[in-house]
Structure 1
Amino acid sequence: MDPPVTMSHGEKRDEESPKTAHVQSESATDSPSEEDDQELHDNSNVPRLSYPKLSWFFFYNFGLFAWGGPVAQIALIKDKLVTQDKWITLARFQRVFSVYQILPGPEAAELCMFFGCLSAGRMGGIIAGLAFILPGFVLMLVASYMYTLAGFENKYFNASFRALQPIVAAVILRAAHKIAEHSVRKHDTKRIDPFLVIAAVCTAINCALRLNLFISLGLYGIIYMFVVRRFWIPAAILFVLKYVGYAIYAVLRGMPSPVSLALGVARTPSLINLFVLGLVASSLSFGGAYTAIPFGAYLDTGSLGNAFARAVIITLGMFAPCFLFTIAGHELLEKLVRNKFLASFFDGLCASVVGVIATIAVQILKASVEGTLNKVKGGGATLAQAVTATAQVDPAAVLYMLALSVLYKFTNKYTPLFLVIAGAVAGQFLFVDV
């Protein structure tokens, strides 16, 4: 069954399209000289899809093919719904994306719910969110069960996962590039804005210094508001004060901890413990990695039924805030996105997010290439283990470069899936310890 096709401007909509026609006519009356003001309003080209079509659309386009984690998922959503189908303008997408950075829960799922709400109201948002989440949850559930059957120390499973690490790092870096392509440009001239580039670079530096993520996002949003309005002195003061405050903290308290907040859980947590853990994890998450949830829920569960219940419960907890804020607060979030005063704040925040994503990509790359050396560095490894670990670094680096080359050469949505399959097979030849 083919996915529903989004109609172009010249094609006739189905019978549920009065809202879209109204939006188009409203956009047509806007003055061309008010381009930036247009981008803040609902000048979308969103089709009115029925619930079954909407469900299949998000299930097929994003649920099944959103490989590579939240960054790759967001890039895929932007490419399909903004660049290709033009549901909304790029400027509006960037501000929506920025708003969801300061909300709890996985942003990729929230973006699917946002577009679902635009197409079919709140129920459409719920359907789109569930259609996006379901494939990843089911696949991870099956993979986790198979992994527990084979054993956590199974050398064949671990060899495939070892090969997939550099490939995933390449997918994330390519997706980060796609997001950055438009996040550091001015909306009117489409030229690179040096201040947005500085915000991205400095945020990456702040991550290396372990400065709290939300401090960077908020401050660079405010600083860019000052820059756009040419309030140079307040912008400079805020920029300098941030590092002065960090230096004072580092002198008095030392380097900030890599983990600023953690949650203790009972050794054998109840379903309520797991639900609360999901709520807290979602509230503190950035980019949300829901595909790891069932894996943790399978540990020391005692029975398959209990394991499945734990996986479902913690996933519900993880996505509860996501659905609550996105669906219930859709109208309020839309007002924030369209607010002209806050537009520059979200532009600065969006550029700052690029720095965070770039840092994540580098960290995953480092872990994927050097991961096997950790056993050697930790001591206790035999000479044979040390030689094997060292020998595995080069193949991981080669896999990373090959995957990155393929991703830049081929832009088909099936490319990441092909790389995942190829990586799993390659791992059996490259990383199985004899």
Structure 2
Amino acid sequence: MTLLKTRPDDVIPLGEATKAWFGISLQTFGGPAGQIAVMQHTLVDEKRWIGQKRFLHALNFCTLLPGPEAQQLATYVGWLLNGTRGGLIAGGLFVLPGMLALLVLSTIYVAFGNSGTVTALFAGVAPSVIAIVAQAVHRVGKRSLTHPALIALAVGSFIALTLFGVPFPAVVFASGFLGWLLSRRIKEFAEGGSHGPADDGPAPLISDDHLHHELPSKRKSFAVLAIGLTLWFVPVALFALFVRSTPVFVDQGLFFSGAAVVTFGGAYAVLAYVAQQAVSVYHWLAPGEMVRGLALAETTPGPLIMVVQFVAFVGAYRHPGDLNPWVAAVLASLLVTWVTFVPCFLFVILGAPYVERLRGNKSIAGALTGITAAVVGVIGNLAVYFALHTLFDRSRSVDAGPLHFDLPVVSSWDPVAFAITALACYLMFARNWKSMRTIGLCALIGLGVFGVQSVF
């Protein structure tokens, strides 16, 4: 007997759909490509609840949105199967296991991060993250940079971020504007990037006509927007009113709310911006800790953007005000998770009735293509940032006119980190190892090197 009653607009009984989404949530390792593949296999190939074309239609809509596209795809397909509550359940379950797992890992890191064993683990894990990010540059670039103008946008974005210190949101919006302009002049420009061939796949058990749908309504859209914005910002306002001994909750709530609306291209695209602000502006993390947080997030299910929960946890633990540090850390991690994902639900539920109009809009397609190309440069900048703080112990700042960047102190290079990075790159590029397997081996190497050093 299910506790979730079926409504007339439920295409699939909600209890059955919830079980399916829970099963999917436990398999969402490996980044968005792996997460989308799990949903494809379960929903399209195995259960046949939705057809291949409809699935790709939903995926294309989600690529238009800021935020983790795989989580938004789950929300959108849940909406198609069971309306708004189905979307909330599907998207929520997509996040929940990873949130709980990363909360535990963040606690372990803060409690034992200075121990020899944990330090040795991260000495092996951190270099492997460089290989993971480099692979992301290769994959996104191979799929997206199909025109010389797109390559120029990617290179320009990398230079703007790496050498001139242009703010990440400015790069995103400028790339979108340039993409829109270029799509008006270059016919094939907006065709860059694809998620693969739109083959029909197995015949769905449910026709498109029976999937949940509703006519666009200004009145309902306004209600959804009002409710969504209230849910989004009321928790931040409550912390501002009742916790005045530290600004960390309000700072994190507002900062990550802003980051949530500019995360085009996935988590990798915004992490360099988050790392720079968290380390240099707010001092929530030490320079090398963003790499460690990303390594932890890579080992948990769910969206990689969950790494912001680690940032919030560590930052609030170190700036708790009058609160117990552990209480502050848990509250901050929950708050940041909330303000990061509420916008995702809002964008999907608000935009779903208008999806057909958006799909046919070539101007939006051109802007998205420009942003996708820029994301390659943005992720490249992230790889440089991680390499600087992982492969070298020291760096120096260069400020010469408009140029603002950091250079490594060559004499501080870490030969072990270089060797592990080279091995990780070989395993992932030449041997096609998955990120989890690569991280596991590099962690063992870190422990082995630490064991040898402790003996001698």
Q: TM-score range by the shorter chain?
A: 0.5 to 0.7
- The residue number in structure 2 matching 1:296 is 315
Give, as a single letter, the amino acid of the residue that structure 2 aligns with 1:363: Y
Alpha-carbon distance between aligned partners in 2 of 1:342 and 1:285, rounded to the nearest angstrom = 16
Note the 1:179-198 alignment, pairs <5 A: 179-184=140-145, 192-198=146-152
Alpha-carbon distance between aligned partners in 1 of 2:257 and 2:387, rounded to the nearest angstrom = 29
Does the alignment pair 1:140 with 2:106? Answer: no
Does the alignment pair 1:172 with 2:133? Answer: yes
Per-residue deviation, 1:59? 0.7
Change (3 A) 1:284 1:219: closer
- The residue number in structure 2 matching 1:367 is 389
Note the 1:67-82 alignment, pairs <5 A: 73-77=31-35
Does the alignment pair 1:398 with 2:360? Answer: no
Give, as a single letter, the amino acid of the residue that structure 1 aligns with 2:172: F
In structure 1, runs of 5+ residues without a counterpart are: 1-15, 21-47, 67-72, 185-191, 232-263, 379-388
Percent identity over the alignment is: 24
Change (3 A) 1:373 1:305: closer
Change (3 A) 1:393 1:350: same
- The residue number in structure 2 matching 1:214 is 172
Alpha-carbon distance between aligned partners in 1 of 2:133 and 2:324, rounded to the nearest angstrom = 36
Give, as a single letter, the amino acid of the residue that structure 1 aligns with 2:428: L
- The residue number in structure 2 matching 1:204 is 158
Note the 1:46-195 alignment, pairs <5 A: 50-62=16-28, 65-66=29-30, 73-77=31-35, 87-88=52-53, 95-96=60-61, 98-100=63-65, 103=66, 105-150=67-112, 152-184=113-145, 192-195=146-149
Per-residue deviation, 1:106? 4.3
- The residue number in structure 1 matching 2:446 is 427
Does the alignment pair 1:321 with 2:343? Answer: yes
- The residue number in structure 2 matching 1:342 is 364
Give, as a single letter, the amino acid of the residue that structure 2 aligns with 1:279: S
Q: Secondary structure at the match of 1:61?
A: coil
Q: Which gives a bigger RCO, structure 1 or 2 (Cα 8 Å, sep 6+)?
A: 2
Change (3 A) 1:334 1:134: farther
Q: TM-score, normalised by structure 1?
A: 0.62
Q: Secondary structure at the match of 1:400?
A: helix
Alpha-carbon distance between aligned partners in 1 of 2:256 and 2:174, rounded to the nearest angstrom = 25
Change (3 A) 1:130 1:337: same
8 Å CA contact 1:114–1:326 kept in 2: the answer is yes
Give, as a single letter, the amino acid of the residue that structure 2 aligns with 1:400: T
Q: TM-score, normalised by structure 2?
A: 0.59
Q: How many residues align?
A: 326
Alpha-carbon distance between aligned partners in 2 of 1:213 and 1:357, rounded to the nearest angstrom = 12
8 Å CA contact 2:137–2:380 kept in 1: the answer is yes
Per-residue deviation, 1:172? 1.8
**CA deviation digits over 1:391-411, x for unaligned, max 9?**
862221221221122223455
In structure 2, runs of 5+ residues without a counterpart are: 1-7, 46-50, 190-239, 268-304, 398-409
Give the CA RMSD over aligned residues. 4.0
Q: Secondary structure at the match of 1:210?
A: coil
8 Å CA contact 1:218–1:349 kept in 2: the answer is yes
Alpha-carbon distance between aligned partners in 2 of 1:140 and 1:206, rounded to the nearest angstrom = 33
Change (3 A) 1:216 1:74: farther
Q: Secondary structure at the match of 2:26?
A: helix
Change (3 A) 1:368 1:202: same
- The residue number in structure 2 matching 1:268 is 246
